[in-house]
Amino acid sequence: MSIEQLTALEIGRRIAAGEVSSREVTAHFLQRIEGGNARINAFVHVDPERSLQLAEDADRRLAAGELTSPLAGVPIAIKDILCEEGVPTSCGSRMLEGFAPPYTATAVQRLLDAGMVPLGKTNMDEFAMGGSTETSVYGVSRNPWDLERTPGGSSGGAAAVLAAGLAPLSIGSDTGGSVRQPAAFCGVCGLKPTYGRISRYGLVAFASSLDQVGPLAHTIEDIAACLQVLAGHDPRDSTSLAAEVPQYAAQLGRPLKGLKVGVIREHVEHAALDGAIRLAVERGQQQLAGLGAQIVEVHLPHTQYSVATYYLVAPSEASGNLSRYDGVHYGFRQVGSAGAGAASPLDAMISRSRSVGFGEEVKRRIMLGTFALSSGYYDAYYKKGQQVRRLIANDYQTAFEQVDVLLGPVTPTTAFKLGEKSSDPVQMYLCDLFTVGANLAGVPSLSIPAGLDEKGLPLAVQLQAPVLEEPRLLQVAHQMQRAGFFEQKLANDTL
């Protein structure tokens, strides 16, 4: 069996047993990237020499008995939104052209400390605003299952590299679905942990009260192992949780007998939901019942307001976070003569840099957010958004008083065609219908594969659990995986 067909943990086991070195594994994936990346445009930056150097370090540290993670020596792809010292980090934006951060994100540092080997940076929608990886300055990424389709977004590259076997594991970020939706479109697992479970230090901020780093992988065991490396308190992120980190692998084998699973009525009966995805949720329901879980119907009554709420809260926070890009502090600068209306040459430079450096969607969000926060409109938009956010979070709380986990769809449709929604922002926003709730409520949420539809495109379902109940989420998903629910394989072995 070829290395890219192994799980990350199996690769780690073989490295630890001395059957293969981290250097050999890393070289194998670098070679696959060289051969296959051009067709999907999923990696936007690779530095083979650096990756091989880190792999050799891992081999040395393993030999010295310094590494204990079962993922030691295993390569991993990193979304272009996480800072690594000296490594280009551009968030898919012209605005960060040539920017190499002077420090490393805590999440990435934890991977390095565990002896994992970054393979490179993966493509994304500009500043993580989008659901199709079509707004990147590096061009669109493609779905390995069908090259005419999107891999999803914004962490499209992170999901595509897994489906194409160009990396065994990856990390992305999820503000309103950006780990789960690409995972769903590419037939892999993607976890958005509880808000605050993984440090946001060094994660370029989009909407700070919603952003969360999350792993993508082929199996639940790999997700659990990667979360183990990433999770934990970080004094550098004031919103990071101090709660103890449990042993995520420990609960995977536990039977589901007696567990209550709530099927979200407003999601499964939504008019926009594809029939094949509805059937996948039903199949999940039947399988969970067969495994001893009790299935009940639950309501998230404010579902219909979730997209509107998210698209007030997220752009409002983004408009503040993105004010730091002024042509002075980072990357891109556009100079020129002060145009009419500019108060000073400095104002003109800032305005030109932002006009040219940001893409259309990012500017749309900045304007939306600035409007929602402006005096006179604040109460009607931002404040109202915050109030409805509370109602949505309360819906989750009420649901979790009745059940242990929630089951539903991740997306209304399977992967759509490139270009299909890029000219209509509202159509694109509506795709986030089932994912934004978990971010607004701060709860952990997991996308798992559910086989293929009649077009051969990946199907997926979503599991959600109360705050910090990742072990329960992973336990349920793992039992489903064991019972054959995922039916996955690599998308395209010809890459």
The residues annotated with a catalytic role in the active site are: 79, 154, 178
Nearer to ligand GLN, 75 or 130 (CB): 130
Which residue has the CB atom at the shortest distance from ligand GLN?
Answer: 178
Q: How far is CA 302 from CA 52, 176, 211, 460, in A?
A: 50, 16, 21, 23
- Residue that has been written with the tokens 């509202």 in this structure: 426
Give yes or no for residue 82 binding ligand GLN (CB under 6 A). Answer: no
Find out whether 132 and 125 touch, Cβ atoms under 8 Å. yes
Per-residue binding letters, 294-333, with ligand GLN (x by CB under 6 A) = --------------------x-------------------
Instruction: Pick the closest to residue 152 from 48, 45, 79, 83 (CA basis).
Output: 79
Q: Site residues for ligand GLN, window 271-290 (CB under 6 A)?
A: none
Please choose, out of 43-51, 176-184, 449-457, 461-469, the segment that lies near ligand GLN by the rule CB under 6 A: 176-184
For residues 451-462, b (16+ Cβ closer than 10 Å) or e, as one string? bbbeeebbbbbb
Give yes or no for residue 51 binding ligand GLN (CB under 6 A). Answer: no
Give yes or no for residue 176 binding ligand GLN (CB under 6 A). Answer: yes
Q: Could you tell me how many residues of this chain bind ligand GLN (CB under 6 A)?
A: 13
Give yes or no for residue 80 binding ligand GLN (CB under 6 A). Answer: no
Find out whether 74 and 119 touch, Cβ atoms under 8 Å. no
- Residue that has been written with the tokens 């199949």 in this structure: 283
Find out whether 204 and 470 touch, Cβ atoms under 8 Å. no
Give yes or no for residue 90 binding ligand GLN (CB under 6 A). Answer: no
Give yes or no for residue 191 binding ligand GLN (CB under 6 A). Answer: no
**Token pair for 435:** 């994912």
> In whole angstroms, how close is the CB of 457 to ligand GLN at the nearest point?
19
Nearer to ligand GLN, 3 or 137 (CB): 137
Tally of CB atoms within 10 A around 157: 35
**Token pair for 355:** 């006009």
Distance CA 8, CA 168 (A): 5
Q: Site residues for ligand GLN, window 110-139 (CB under 6 A)?
A: 128-131
Give yes or no for residue 368 binding ligand GLN (CB under 6 A). Answer: no
> In whole angstroms, how close is the CB of 178 to ligand GLN at the nearest point?
3
Nearer to ligand GLN, 324 or 482 (CB): 324
> In whole angstroms, how close is the CB of 213 to ligand GLN at the nearest point?
11
Instruction: Pick the closest to residue 83 from 166, 192, 201 (CA basis).
Output: 201
DSSP-derived 3-state class of residue 155: coil
List 82's β-bridge partners, or say none. 203
Could you say which of 89, 154, 309, 445 contacts ligand GLN (CB under 6 A)? 154
For the chain, how many helices (H) and strands (E)?
A: 16, 11
Nearer to ligand GLN, 153 or 357 (CB): 153
Nearer to ligand GLN, 291 or 314 (CB): 314
Find out whether 227 and 191 touch, Cβ atoms under 8 Å. yes
DSSP-derived secondary structure letter, 116: -
Please choose, out of 45-53, 174-182, 244-252, 300-308, the segment that lies near ligand GLN by the rule CB under 6 A: 174-182
Helix axes 156-163, 22-40, angle to 10 degrees: 110
Nearer to ligand GLN, 311 or 325 (CB): 311
Could you say which of 21, 104, 136, 178 contacts ligand GLN (CB under 6 A)? 178
- Helix intervals (H) in 43-99: 48-63
Lateral strand order in the sheet of 75-79: 43-45, 117-122, 75-79, 170-174, 212-217, 189-192, 445-452, 458-464, 405-409, 260-264, 294-298
Nearer to ligand GLN, 175 or 414 (CB): 175
Please choose, out of 92-100, 170-178, 257-265, 468-476, the segment that lies near ligand GLN by the rule CB under 6 A: 170-178
> In whole angstroms, how close is the CB of 296 to ligand GLN at the nearest point?
29
Q: What DSSP string describes 17-34?
A: TTSS-HHHHHHHHHHHHH
DSSP-derived 3-state class of residue 397: helix
Tally of CB atoms within 10 A around 343: 9
> In whole angstroms, how close is the CB of 429 to ligand GLN at the nearest point?
7
Could you say which of 177, 190, 284, 437 contacts ligand GLN (CB under 6 A)? 177
Please choose, out of 6-14, 173-181, 372-380, 474-482, the segment that lies near ligand GLN by the rule CB under 6 A: 173-181
| Total residues found in the chain within this entry | 495
Strands annotated E in 154-274: 170-174, 189-192, 212-217, 260-264
Give yes or no for residue 109 binding ligand GLN (CB under 6 A). Answer: no
> In whole angstroms, how close is the CB of 192 to ligand GLN at the nearest point?
8
> In whole angstroms, how close is the CB of 418 to ligand GLN at the nearest point?
16
Per-residue binding letters, 421-440, with ligand GLN (x by CB under 6 A) = -----------x--------
> In whole angstroms, how close is the CB of 150 to ligand GLN at the nearest point?
12
**Site for ligand GLN, rule CB under 6 A:** 128-131, 154, 174-178, 206, 314, 432
